[in-house]
Structure 1
Amino acid sequence: MTHSSIIFEYPLNEKMRNWLRVEYLLQQLVASKNAHSPEACLLFLRTLTELLDIFERNELRADLLKELERQQSKLQQWLIVPDIDTQAVHCLIDELSAHGQKMNTVPKFGSTFKEDRFIGQIRQRLSIPGGYCNFDTPTLHLWQHLPIEKRQAQLDHWYAGLEPLHLSLQTLLHLIRQSGRFNELQAHQGFFQNAAEDKNLLRILLSSDDEIYPQVSGHKARFSIRFFPLENDDRVPEILPFQLACC
Structure 2
Amino acid sequence: MNNIIFEHPLNEKMRTWLRVEFLLNQLNTHCHFNDKNALIFFHALSELLEIIERNDIKADFIKELETQKQKLISWLTFDGVDYDLLSDLIRKFDVFLAQFNVITRLGQPLKDDRFITAIRQRLMIPGGCCSFDLPSFYLWLKIPQEKRDMQVKNWLQHLSPLDESLTCYMQLIRQLGEFKPFIYTNSFFQETNGDVNLIRIRISLEKNVYPQVSGHMSRYSIRFLPLDACDSVNTDGIYFELACC
Give TM class, smaller chain: over 0.9
Mapped partners of 1:236, 1:111: distance in 2: 51
Give the equivalent residue in structure 2 for 1:241.
Answer: 239
1:189 lines up with 2:186 in the alignment? yes
Give 3-state SS (helix, strand or coil) of 2:235's partner: coil
**Alpha-carbon separation, structure 1, partners of 2:104 and 2:204:** 43
TM-score after normalising by structure 2 = 0.96
Structure 1 counterpart of 2:15, from 2, 14, 17? 17
Residue matched to 2:153: 156
Native 8 Å contact 2:49 2:111 kept in 1: no
Which residue in the other structure is 2:56 paired with? 59
Letter in 2 for 1:206: I
After superposition, the C-alpha distances for 1:24-51 in whole angstroms (9 at most, x for unaligned) are 000000001104x223432111110011
1:62-81 aligned at under 5 Å gives the runs 62-81=59-78
Aligned to 1:111: 108
Q: How many Å apart are 1:55 and its aligned residue?
A: 0.7
CA shift at 1:216, angstroms? 0.3
Partners of 1:74 and 1:83 lie apart in 2 by: 16
Distance 1:236 1:97, change over 3 A: farther
Between the aligned partners of 2:43 and 2:235, the Cα distance in structure 1 is: 40
The answer to whether the aligner puts 1:229 opposite 2:222 as a matched pair is: no
Contact 2:5 2:202 in 1 (8 A): yes
Q: CA deviation at 1:127?
A: 1.1
Query: In the TM superposition, what whole-angstrom CA distance separates every residue of 1:180-238 from its partner, at most 9, and x where no partner exists?
Result: 11110111133101113211001000101111100101111210111011122231332
Equivalent residue number for residue 32 of structure 1? 30
Between 166-175 and 189-198, report the one with greater CA deviation: 189-198
The answer to whether the 8 A contact 1:34-1:40 is kept is no
**Runs of 5+ unmatched residues, structure 1:** none
Instruction: State the alpha-carbon separation in 2 of the partners of residues 197 and 39 from structure 1.
Output: 48
Q: Distance in 2 between matches of 1:234 and 1:167?
A: 44
* 2: CA distance, partners of 1:10 / 1:199: 11
The CA deviation string for residues 81-101 of structure 1, in whole angstroms up to 9 with x for no partner, is 112221111111101111111
* Kept in 2: contact 1:198–1:221 (CA 8 A): yes
> What is the TM-score normalised by the length of structure 1?
0.95
Q: Given that residues 212 and 236 in structure 1 are in contact (C-alpha distance below 8 angstroms), is that contact kept between their aligned partners in structure 2?
A: no
Please list every run of at least 4 consecutive aligned residues from structure 1 whose deviation after the TM superposition is greater than 6 angstroms: none
Q: How many percent identity over aligned positions?
A: 46
Q: In structure 2, give the amino acid aligned to 1:147.
A: P
Q: How many residue pairs align between the two structures?
A: 244
Q: How does 1:137-148 map to 2 (within 5 A)?
A: 137-148=134-145
1:90 counterpart = 2:106: no
Residues 31 and 39 of structure 1, relative CA distance in 2, 3 Å threshold: farther
Q: Distance in 1 between matches of 2:139 and 2:223?
A: 50
**Inter-partner Cα distance in structure 2 for 1:234 and 1:134:** 48
Separation of aligned partners in 1, 2:87 and 2:107: 32
RMSD of equivalent CA atoms: 1.2
2:42 is aligned with 1:45: yes
